[in-house]
A and B are shown apart, each in its own frame.
Chain A
Amino acid sequence: MSAELRIAHLRKVFATGKPAVDDVSFTIAAGEIVVLLGPSGCGKTTTLRCVAGLEHPTDGEISLAGEPISAPARGILMPPRLRNIGMVFQSYAVWPHMTVRENVAYPLKSRGLSRADQDRRIADALALVDLGGYADRPVTQLSGGQMQRVALARSMVYEPRLLLLDEPLSNLDAQLRLRLRDDLRRIVKKAGLTALYVTHDQTEAVVLGDRIGVMRDGKLLQMASPEEVYNRPADLFVAAFTGASNFIPGQVTARDGEFGAVRTADGATLRAWMPQGVVPGANVQVAVRPENIRFTEAAGSENRVTAKVTAQRYLGMQTSYDLSVFGATIEGIEVGTAVRYPVGSEVTVALPPESCWAYAASADDARAMTPH
């Protein structure tokens, strides 16, 4: 049955030198879905493979249901086949020389179940992924999405304690991805499984995860609910990676509680949320998501300024404007099919303080990290 996964100070260093996973710790409660999100090469797959037992950690401890399964310091290393974990690979890894049923039946063969029990479980698993009618097809005659679901059924049929998924949707076309993304959460939740899911797609992470962990260069930067990751990013990288692509440089002039005042390059003052450690006098970058910029004329809202429109991109359902304001050029998005502000015009915008996050770092770093 599904179990709690606890990872403490996990490190993995390959022969090449730089650690692929560096001091990563987190816990997944039984029945919870956690998504690891991060750019290519940040160590997501390596973390997953360490949990599966396919990779041997250099250091740290992994325990499942309170029982250590990898603890190199204590010489503990349980082989993958004894861990009772399910895994869905990026390449599906369905066995092409078998039918759908044979694929799904394979894990049951080494588990000493009665024939009737096996058949029932196979039928249940195939029904769960909507492949009831395909049991006797060779898998090579399936579509990509169907193969993906075979892989899922195969990894769940033995009711593993934990389900690992490594970018299971990345090989599918966009439409199928959207559909399977929703299905996946429904199926995993229905089966009540603890799941660790790896992706570099933010929307996938938000839709699927109960919590999201953002990784960079082998380090876990933040692990929190999707709302928190999107509204209170732990640092500039997380903000940039989750789409806060505007950076306004400035200097902190005052701080009261969670918020404070930032003097920008043009001398204006911007009220922003500040993580701990940002003190008056510090040079900061204020990150703002384009979607959070309000095109509003109503007086009285905070951080309300007049901006000059320097460029305009009509995107159909929304329009993106380049705005010259606070001594920087920032992008703002207004939803709606109408284009309202021509280039060169002046527009009054408001940047709600709870959506302006001041981090002590350089914007060049952040821009380099932003996925485009």
Chain B
Amino acid sequence: MSQGARFRPAKLIAGLWSAALLIILTFLVLYPTAMLLVGALTNMNPVVDGYHPEAISISSFIDVLSNENVHFALGNTLVACAGGTAVAVIIGLFFAWIVVRTNTPWKGLIATAGMLPLFVPPLVAGVGWALLGSPKTGLINTFLARAGIEWRIDLYSMSGIIFVFGMYYAPYVYMFTASALRNMDPSLEEAAEISGATPFRTIFTITFPLIAPAIISGMLLSFVVMLGIYGIPAVLGAPANIPVLTTYIFQLTAWTPPEYSKAAAVALILMVATGALVALQQKVLSGRSYTTVAGKAFRPRSLNLGPWRFLTLALAIIYLLVVVVLPTLALIVAAFRRFLFIRDVASLFDMKQYGLLHFQRLFENPATMTSIYNTMKVGIITAVIGGILAFAIGYTVTRTQAPARRWIDIIATIPVAIPGLVIGVAYLWAWIGMPFGFYGSIWILALAFVARFMPDTVKALSASLMQIHKELEEAAWICGRGTLATIRTIVLPLARPGVVAAMTLLFILAIRELGSSLFLYSSSTVVMAVKLLDYYEGGNVGLTAAFSLVQMVILGVLIGITNLLTRGAANSSVGRAG
């Protein structure tokens, strides 16, 4: 056909387009990752020495691997994440069962409220629980003392970290297991009951084994997220001197002179561990699953718990109290009270003790407003660049025959396996020694966030692109429109809700991100999350609490707006980022 001649320029353009995307992705993802590797394999300081390829050797990496402090941090990390995961599995599975399989009252509310912990930034959760559970001044201990109980709780401990991890990351296990339970043929359980098995035996010999793939992948995901969390172990672990990998990496870069290459080496360990676990999770997910029968709707089976249903309701309420209400109350008390010292319970309710003092001081400090302003700026840049890039990638991968689109997809997915903190270290290595002041500008933060959240954004956008029938596009081509005109007149308008949602999501993810910011901010580009940590480390509890509340309100409003825009689709993605 004569079309052959006409197709050649189109092919060339497609090739150029793929090349452009690959270059952008290399710049955003591959180059920093490679530089992290370089950093791990040298013992130079790029700020002082610049980059010297000849300094690369395996020996410094081996030094780090055999360093006792690293072993200690690694051991702590594994214990904290394993313990936290165990707690998360127990809580998550229990709630999945309550919501999907029982007649507990207000199930819908429990299901929705149970996702709230995902939105609490880890640092805020840590601060909230430090206020409640610090060994000497914690509010809970004040109450215990008041009630004449000898026993004290101490959240500044490994068990404290495990407890808070487990509480806040249980929703991952819940998400996976609840949907597996929903997709499971209830007659499998009924058959066991008829065979003579007690409900208890049915759960442990039929239900749980059948949803094992979902349990395992929820477990792995929560483990991975905990591995990369900085805020909680920073707040709860530091006073008791319990370093984990994330806090240890940050410590290394905070020393003078900063140990950048050691930090890179430890970050590499963290990345390899994360990558392995993510790969394992994907394997479990893609492996044979007994439960997901696509398109088959089962009549939900709900176990009549009788009076026990009030016990399950009570447990759900206690959980919400513990993860949302108590820490929020603690933050409110600390933020509005002049002095946190509470002599007795009566003084807790003494209104004269309360005022807006901390908020005044918070906003009198110009750094506060600067950090909010910076955060919004980074958020908007991230949302716009990330949204456009993700749309380009999503469209190219799902809708075109462009060359190398497999590779584009793969590279865009790599950041799934890189904790935020590691991305921070990688970007640090990639740009700190470079001229033209990119490092230290607001742009490096934004680009690091774009890279970090790329997989989530591309996934969300691809899903909304898939919903647009190919025929709609083909109809436009047949009408004589070119590819670009088709995208502009057909695809974009149809995908707009998806694009808007993805951008809003990116904005929210960006403004709550701490891990990668830690290594990339400069005195003029401090963002909210970093400033909060700064206040916390400065020891000012009132300011910290007040700023935490301000951030929670900002986040809450934005998440509310997003949910309106996307009808809930954002929940899971906010969670993934930890």
Residues of A with Cβ closer than 8 Å to B? 52-54, 56, 79-87, 89-91, 93-97, 106-107, 109-111, 140, 151, 154-155, 158
Contact = CB atoms under 8 A, between A and B. Distances in A.
Given A93-B188, A107-B196, 12 more contacts: A52-B190, A52-B194, A54-B190, A81-B194, A85-B194, A87-B194, A94-B191, A97-B209, A97-B290, A107-B197, A151-B191, A154-B195
Contacts of B188: 93, 95
Contacts of A97: 209-210, 212, 290
A80 B198 contact: no
A87 to B, nearest CB: 5
Nearest to A88: B191
A82 B185 CA distance: 22
B567 interface: no
Contacts of A91: 185, 187
Given A80-B190, A89-B190, A106-B192, A95 B197 contact: no
Contacts of B212: 97
Contacts of A155: 194
A86 B192 contact: no
B195 A106 contact: yes
A82 B196 CA distance: 6
A52, A87, A151 pick with most chain B CB within 10 angstroms: A87
A93 B196 contact: no
A78 to B, nearest CB: 12
A75 B218 CA distance: 42
B537 interface: no
Interface in B280-295: 288, 290
A87 B191 contact: yes
Interface string B434-477: 00000000000000000000000000000000000000000000
Interface in B166-203: 185, 187-188, 190-198, 201
Contact of A81 (B185, B195, B288): B195
29 contacts: A52-B190, A53-B194, A54-B190, A54-B194, A56-B304, A80-B190, A80-B194, A81-B194, A81-B198, A87-B194, A89-B187, A89-B190, A89-B191, A91-B185, A93-B185, A93-B188, A95-B210, A96-B210, A96-B290, A97-B209, A97-B290, A106-B192, A106-B197, A107-B195, A110-B195, A110-B197, A110-B201, A140-B288, A158-B196
Contacts of A110: 195-198, 201
A353 B190 CA distance: 49
Which of the four size classes fits the interface of chain B? 20 to 34
Interface string B190-231: 111111111001000110011010000000000000000000
Nearest to A107: B195
Contacts of A89: 187, 190-191
A113 to B, nearest CB: 11
B193 A80 contact: yes
Nearest to B198: A81
Given A95-B188, A97-B209, A111 B193 contact: no
Contacts of B194: 52-54, 80-81, 83, 85-87, 155
Contacts of A111: 196
A81 B201 CA distance: 11
Nearest to A54: B190
Contacts of B288: 140
B197 A81 contact: yes
Contacts of B197: 81, 106-107, 109-110
A93 B290 contact: no
Nearest to A56: B304
Contact of A93 (B190, B201, B304): B190
A30 to B, nearest CB: 20
A269 B193 CA distance: 60
B293 to A, nearest CB: 9
A158 B197 CA distance: 13
